[in-house]
Chain A
Amino acid sequence: MKTIVLATCLTLLPACVVPAQAQSSSKELLMFNWSNYTPPDLLKRFEAETGIKVSLDTYDTNETMLAKLQAGGAGYDLVVPTGPTVQTIIRDGLLLKVDASKMSNFKNVRAPFDKPEFDPERAYTVPYMWGTTGLAYDAAKIGGGKIEDSWKELFEPRPEYAGKIGMLKDVNEVLGSAAYYLGYDYCFDKPEQGQKILELLEKQKVAVKVYNSEGTVDRVGGGDVAMELMWNGAFHRAHKKLASAAYVYPREGLNLWGDNIGIPKGAKNVENAKLFLNWMMDPKNAAEASNFTGYNNAIKGSEAYLDPSLRDDPAVNSPEEVIARFRPMRECPKASLDLKDKIWTRLLR
């Protein structure tokens, strides 16, 4: 008797716990994003203009965000994946088709962000921030001169920089840049290519002070390293501390990454989310996001609203002639990923 009662209670428990679903005509928007990546003032302005309140939840990497979406039940209206992750999410059918290319503000999106490889028709996402991974150095070490715009300066460094080099601890950034220097494709998969890259990196390792993706701003700004494989937004912040720092776009090619906003399946406030997507393609709003994050945006006409320090920084506001050097980061096939994994493990042993 007791067990029957207990069993009945246990089966009824979920029914008590699941609250009634609210109808989706509410004026709210649930955003899932990195923290410190959307200006609070921007969201307040969105609320003032549309009456929709945006609340923010955060994740630390694309992979954990993806895991949560794949497990189902996330319930967010907006999500901000980086390019290669967008490919995976679309393939898994977890993003809603929104036909962003047909939205009214889409005409503001500038090339190449209007037709990225991971979402060629911009059917699922709109661009948010983008950045490059280039070479930062302290010009004071060579008497205020300029280094060549080539990866050679990083992988076969001059004596002034040897021993004071910082590298990101990211397999795609390090191996990608090395691949460009040696003329290989980002998704290289031949063992001989892997061997050459490993040799190059092991020779360079002697001159490297640290492999760490965190604290780049501090170590460059404070002079702990004199040369760094660095994200351009981080460079912009370090430049504020160290006036003699400079940024180079290597001519062999450099990694380009882009974050994008999309609507995950299971979103409740789809219309509000679409409004937000369109709103973010407006130059003024994109510029406000740029000013906050220190990264560039993909919207034409935003230069007028950019912070002067960002607009005048060639590391962030990339000049026309270097755009051809950008190589969008993408998801590589398994053979390439396995090879990269092997090289990376050997290198950091």
Chain B
Amino acid sequence: MTGSRDLWQFPGTKTAAFAVIVYLYLPILVLIVLSFNASDSSLARWEGFSTHWYAMVAADDNMLNAIRNSGIVACIATLFGTAIATAAALGTARTRFRGQTVVEALIGLPLIVPDIVAAIAILLFFVMIGIKLGLISLVLAHTVFAIPIAYLPIRARLEGLDPALAEAAADLYANPWQTLRRVILPLIWPGIVSGAMLAFIGSLGDVVVSYFVSGPGSTTLPVYVFSMVRMGVTPTVNAVSTLLIAASVSLLTASYLLGRRFS
């Protein structure tokens, strides 16, 4: 295949790539640096080095509660969402059945519907069937949104799989369950991991749905930060963001290593 080598040979590609990376990551770098800002400005007025914002994060019970809620909801929603998405992908890839287009459209629906519309609809639905708002309602809503996000990479990976491998496994007396467990799943594992990653990040960053569907005591971190806008955003937000970035980077590294194990 001649793909990647040719691309790099286009003049200006390296500069463009570098510029885009700087554009994307410079604000994050500034964010991290300003979390050590001694003054209470989370904009650009540096007044000395200080770690007291991290201490304030540790002392702010409400923020810690929000972090805890975000983490729990993201983990559970990712788990269930990715499991369901894997099942959906296995069921819809490489087959044709009646109503397939409808099914695929339904799976992708949460991605197309505007956030606010979905949020209010889910809230009204929960109230109507009597589900008490809280962590459970949050997890349910987040799982729904995690499914299409995780579905796409897994489906893509499945489509790229050589069908001969499944046939070879059947030839060697493997029943469908063994084929799935020992052949297909390991081969699509990188797709599952990347789907799970995307779902996790999506759940962590979600504001609109989380706001409407959360109940007393289950505020998530983005909602908490968002509501600081009125009174002024302090560098505690920078500190929390830096901690989240550190967590994401370690998570990504772990997933990369995990993903490599099976390829």
Contacts and interface: CB of A to CB of B under 8 A. Distances in A.
Contact of A75 (B62, B215, B223): B215
A30 B62 contact: no
Interface string A176-189: 00000000000000
Contacts of B124: 71-72
Interface in A23-79: 30, 32, 34-37, 40, 55-61, 64, 67-68, 71-76
Contacts of A73: 123, 126-127, 132-133
Interface residues of B, number: 37
A152 to B, nearest CB: 29
A227 B215 CA distance: 42
Given A55-B217, A60-B227, A218-B43, A71 B232 contact: no
Among A30, A37, A218: residue with most chain B CB under 10 A: A218
B45 A234 contact: no
A293 interface: yes
A55 to B, nearest CB: 5
Contacts of A60: 223, 226-227, 229-230
A217 interface: yes
A130 to B, nearest CB: 14
A308 interface: no
Among A17, A18, A73, A222: residue with most chain B CB under 10 A: A73
A43 B65 CA distance: 16
Given A36-B232, A67-B212, A293-B231, A58 B224 contact: yes
Nearest to A219: B43
A277 to B, nearest CB: 18
A56 B62 contact: yes
Contacts of B41: 217-218, 222
Contacts, number: 92
A227 B247 CA distance: 42
Interface string B116-130: 000010011011011
A40 B61 contact: yes
Contacts of A74: 133, 215
B230 A17 contact: no
Contacts of A222: 41, 45
Contact of B131 (A17, A61, A72, A76): A17
Interface in B198-237: 211-212, 214-219, 223-224, 226-234
A55 B226 contact: no
Nearest to A21: B132
B115 interface: no
Contacts of B214: 57
Nearest to B124: A71
B212 A68 contact: yes
A35 B212 contact: no
Nearest to B47: A241
B80 to A, nearest CB: 14
B60 interface: yes
Interface in B229-252: 229-234
24 contacts: A14-B130, A14-B131, A17-B136, A30-B216, A34-B231, A35-B224, A37-B230, A55-B65, A55-B216, A56-B62, A57-B217, A57-B218, A57-B219, A58-B223, A64-B211, A67-B212, A68-B211, A68-B212, A71-B120, A73-B127, A214-B229, A215-B43, A218-B41, A237-B232
Given A57-B219, A60-B223, A64-B211, 5 more contacts: A14-B129, A55-B65, A59-B227, A214-B233, A218-B41
Interface of A: 14, 17-19, 30, 32, 34-37, 40, 55-61, 64, 67-68, 71-76, 214-215, 217-218, 222, 234, 237, 293
Top 10 A-B pairs, shortest CB-CB distance: A58-B227, A73-B127, A30-B216, A36-B231, A60-B227, A35-B227, A57-B219, A72-B127, A14-B129, A60-B226
